Amino acid sequence: MITPLYCQTMARYNAWQNNGVRDIVAKMDIADLTKDRGAFFGSIMGTLNHLLWGDIRWMSRFDGGDSTDLPIAKSDTLTATPAIWAQDRIQMDARITLWAQNVDAETLNGDLQWLPVGQAGAMSTPMGLCATHLFNHQTHHRGQVHAMLTEAGQTPLPTDLPFMPEDI
């Protein structure tokens, strides 16, 4: 389905986009970041927190590392401040990148055994599909953040993969 190179490319893309968002968020007023803008997770910060929460949950399934017990309904409150979010985001992007650099085709072609949030039983899902979901989920919610940042008068980075710098 997908290859290690796909995962590496998408991990780079994720880091590039998050670096740009982090630079903007650092300069914004907290009131603008927490204003309810009608998105599923309300605000820019709520959506960024949910996205980080999702990455934590999926990466714990992929690499066996730390997760969070925070329920999805509270995922928009994962970090208390933009500065904490930024630091946690840097660490998560490094974790995703490390996983992508080490994942192999055999793993991606196998199945992932995991426990879905809010469900009783374990699932077995193709690992390639789960990895694709990780990156798709990031792109989906970052698109929402992009729209909210634009609405707030900010100018996010372009989001086109062909324009991603090589040094990311």
| Whether residue 119 has pLDDT greater than 80 | no
Per the CB < 8 A criterion, the answer to whether 145 and 54 are in contact is: no
SS3 assignment for 135-147: HHHHHHHHHHHHH
What mean pLDDT is predicted for residues 81-97? 98
The per-residue DSSP string of 115-167 comes to --TT-SS-EEEEHHHHHHHHHHHHHHHHHHHHHHHHHTT--PPP--GGG--TT
| Whether residue 168 has pLDDT greater than 90 | no
What pTM does this model have?
0.95
Per the CB < 8 A criterion, the answer to whether 28 and 168 are in contact is: no
pLDDT of residue 3: 98
What mean pLDDT is predicted for residues 80-88? 97
| Whether residue 117 has pLDDT greater than 80 | no
In angstroms, the Cα distances linking 79 to 48, 49, 122 are 9, 6, 28
Tokens describing residue 112: 């992932």
What mean pLDDT is predicted for residues 38-45? 95
Structural domains of the chain, with CATH: 4-160 (1.20.120.450)
Q: Mean pLDDT score of the chain, rounded to an integer?
A: 95
